[in-house]
Amino acid sequence: MWLISDWSSVREALAHAAVAAQQRPAPPFSTLSVVEAAELGAMAERIMPTTETPGAREAGVIYFMDRALGSFQKEALPDVRKGVADLKVRAVRRKAGSSGLAGLPPADQDALLTEIEKTEFFEGVRYLTMVGMFAKPSYGGNRGEVGWKLLGFEHRPAYTPPFGYYDAEAAKGR
């Protein structure tokens, strides 16, 4: 069980969350607290980072997670909350006074996540990140189909051959 007992740390977390929120439109979350959203969002953004191509941030993965954890993945919420609390403990160990993962520089974030990458919590967040990135946009993530575009997945209702390079080549040779 994760309880907010120390207002000053929350204030700091909120500040970090506000910074993170500047980079995206920020409608209110319906299930996650601002702090939880900042932490899970930071995780998602390291799992599928924004590089020269869009990542979890642009896909709106955190909004998918908010929706998932309030509905069809509801049973995972208590464990996710425990995991977020643990993230903070580990972040403080890494940098005294840290508010959590979201407040660390990316290299430290990656190091911390490498520490926990075999945990069920990490695997659960990785799962939600990939689903939020690549499921139908109607689930709240994969905004503008950025996930599908990243992969080269056309998602059309039907296709006609040739489908790929090698069958096209074979058809030409015939």
Partner 1 sequence: MPQQASVHHPLSSTVDFVIVGSGAAGGILAKELSTAGYSVVVLERGPRLTPEQFEHDEFKYFFQNYIGAKTPVTWRETPSQVAKLKKDAVWGAHIVGGSSVHFTANFWRFRPVDFNERSRLGAIPGASLADWPITYDELEPYYTKVDWEIGVSGQAGGWGEPRRSRPYPVPPLPVKSSGVLFERATKKLGWHPFPAPMAILSRPLNGRMACQNCGFCQGYGCEFGAKSSTLAAMIPLAERTGKCEVRANSYVRKVEVNAAGRTTGVIYFDANGREQFQRAKAVVLSCNGAETSRLLLMSKSNAFPQGLANSSGIVGQHLMFNAGAIVPGFYEHPLNEYKGAQVTRIALDWYDSDPKRGFYGGGGLDARADITLPIFFALNGAPPGMRNWGAEHKRFLEHGFTRQMTVMAHTTSLPVAANSVSLDPTLKDDHGLPAMRITYRDHEDDLKMSRYLHARAVEVHHAAGAQQVAPLPVEVQGTAVHLLGTCRMGNDPKTSVVDRFHRTHDVRNLFICDGSSLVTSGRGQPTMTIMALAFRAGEKLAEFAKRGEI
Which residue of 35, 61, 84, 150 would you call a contact of partner 1, by CB under 8 A? 150
CA 85 to CA 81: how far, in whole Å? 6
Pair 103, 39: CB distance under 8 Å: no
Told to check if 139 binds partner 1 by CB under 8 A, we report: yes
Which residue of 30, 72, 115, 119 would you call a contact of partner 1, by CB under 8 A? 72
Q: Which two tokens stand for residue 6?
A: 């120390």
CA 146 to CA 51: how far, in whole Å? 13
Q: What CA dihedral angle connects 117, 118, 120 and 124, to 10 degrees?
A: 40
Which residue of 41, 60, 83, 147 would you call a contact of partner 1, by CB under 8 A? 147
CA 45 to CA 66: how far, in whole Å? 15
Which residue of 31, 49, 77, 86 would you call a contact of partner 1, by CB under 8 A? 49
Told to check if 111 binds partner 1 by CB under 8 A, we report: no
Told to check if 1 binds partner 1 by CB under 8 A, we report: no
Q: Give me the amino acid identity at 144.
A: G
Q: Which two tokens stand for residue 62?
A: 């955190």
CA 111 to CA 7: how far, in whole Å? 27
Told to check if 124 binds partner 1 by CB under 8 A, we report: no
Told to check if 163 binds partner 1 by CB under 8 A, we report: yes
Which residue of 29, 63, 121, 148 would you call a contact of partner 1, by CB under 8 A? 148
Told to check if 40 binds partner 1 by CB under 8 A, we report: no
Site residues for partner 1 per CB under 8 A = 46-49, 51, 53, 55, 72, 110, 113, 117, 126-127, 129-131, 133-136, 139, 147-148, 150-155, 157-161, 163-167, 169-170
